[in-house]
Amino acid sequence: MNPPDLRALVDVEIPDIRQRYGPKDCILYALGLGFGNQPDDASSLRYVYEQDLIALPTQLAVLASSSDWMRDPRTGIRWEHLVALSHDLSLPKPLATSGHVRARTAVEAVYDRGPGRGAIIAWRRVVTDDDSGEEIGIVRGQALARANGGFGGEPPPRRPHPGFPARAPDHVAAWRTQPNQALLYRLCGDTNPLHADPDVARAAGLDAPILHGLCNLGIAASAAAPLAPGGLTALREIGARYAGVFYPGDTLRTEAWREAGVILFRSTSVRTGQCIIDDGAARLADGLATC
């Protein structure tokens, strides 16, 4: 039996999603990343306390988001073998702490890695203000459908990245996650049982439920942000490739380098030594430099 040709996903119409969000959503997202785990950390309070609240830029990734379309049996995707490969976020200005948003998702391309190696689904989600139509940001992602390769499509292109400097990192941060981190983060919208159900995780070849790739990216970007003038709100583009799985309760160690207008970063699991986030880059608002 021939595998389903996932290139047909490019023509699939994915329903728009609308969401009203407010301070509680922003606080829940920040708690999902691990902000507030140290109650005496005044710098974290601005993200988890409604007074003078600031929205984290990576929250864009969970606004009006849903992966339900990937679980539709009509697509041919074997969703239980689906994992995230990368995400790239861009937003023209700092994210508001409340709003009424609309997201339109489309599959941009599908690549074939070959039999037994899966297929890569590249998609784009444009988030706009549902009242004014103003663009709030764009999220691009790549997902690996591990059980769907071999239909004869084009191979995937290599992800562009300038490479890391040969010098020592300009900043290193260790972020300890909590054992219930995935259970908390999934309340932001990604309810894939891979992050909650031990039986589903073991069936996928994992030791236990893993932390979401987007959660890891949010942690890494937050850990690298001290190199940016203005901190997290100065970040306008954030992206990385997921290089390994990360388990709740482990510590994520992020190395970051500052270059002109960009912060380069990568993260490893302190317990396993495995690279978790690779090819990370965060670009700053126009006029800001990191020198």
Q: Which residues are catalytic?
A: 190, 195
Rounded to whole angstroms, the Cα distance separating 19 from 30 reads 18
Per-residue CA distances from 105 to 5, 42, 141 (Å): 20, 37, 11
